[in-house]
Amino acid sequence: MTTTEDRLHRWLVNEHGIVDVRRIVREDDNGFLLSKVPSDLIGRVGVMVERLALFSKDDPIAIATADQAYRYPNRSRVDNWRAAVCDLIRKRAQSQGFSSDDADLLTVGVESVAAVMRAVLWSDPVEGEICAPSSAEIDAWRDVLGRTDRAGDLFTRHYGFFEGKAVSSHCPGAPYARAFMESAWRCCTGTPPPA
């Protein structure tokens, strides 16, 4: 006899080509919520963000991004921000006794945020150039930010219906993604994130 989880996994493989196992986080009358990350991930990410002090008052991300900009003046501002944050995470994680796998939990999210920022700031501002986001880029920012507020829609994937129930997955790190997005906007544009 197969379990619901077994049937769901086969459905994901056959319908969506997803071979990595997803665990069922929640099943109710409305559907299934799936995850591909360990159940303790969000707790681990939260501990790391706090211990690494990435969002402290002295803004180490801005300092690291400015250093990247100085060393790589012809590189995209988003690429400099991404490299700065990933390097900062790895260095601080090592000094705090976290493993490289732990650091990867955060850098994967940073890579995702950088991809979103490349889409929002499609003018791809380069260091050394004046960066004044266009009104369309500001509108794109507001749209993305709004989608992080509305039940994390930006970080939710909907697969369809299995056995009459909706199937979706959601990134548990969405609250941290928003903080990284706001940091990226400040570092890449030199302006506060638009409200």
74 located within any domain:
yes
Q: Quick one: pLDDT at residue 149?
A: 67
8 located within any domain:
no
18 located within any domain:
no
Residue pair 169/34 in contact by the 8 Å Cβ criterion: yes
Boundaries of domain holding 122 = 37-154+170-189
136 located within any domain:
yes
Q: Quick one: pLDDT at residue 150?
A: 54
27 located within any domain:
no
Q: What is the spatial distance between Cα 96 and Cα 93, in angstroms, rounded to a whole number?
A: 5
5 located within any domain:
no
Instruction: Tell me the whole-structure pTM to 2 decimals.
Output: 0.80
Spatial CB neighbours of 130, under 8 Å, sequence gap ≥ 6: none
Q: How many domains does the chain fold into? A: 1
Q: Quick one: pLDDT at residue 152?
A: 54
Question: Which residue numbers in the chain have pLDDT < 50?
Answer: none
47 located within any domain:
yes
DSSP per-residue string spanning the chain? ---HHHHHHHHHHHHH---S--EEEEEETTEEEEESS-TTHHHHHHHHHHHHTTTSTT-HHHHHHHHHHHH-TTSBHHHHHHHHHHHHHHHHHHHTT--HHHHHHHHHHHHHHHHHHHHHTTT--BTTS-----HHHHHHHHHHHHHHHTTTGGGEEEEEEETTEEEEEE-TTHHHHHHHHHHHHHHHHSSPPP-
78 located within any domain:
yes
> Which neighbouring-strand residues pair with 172?
none
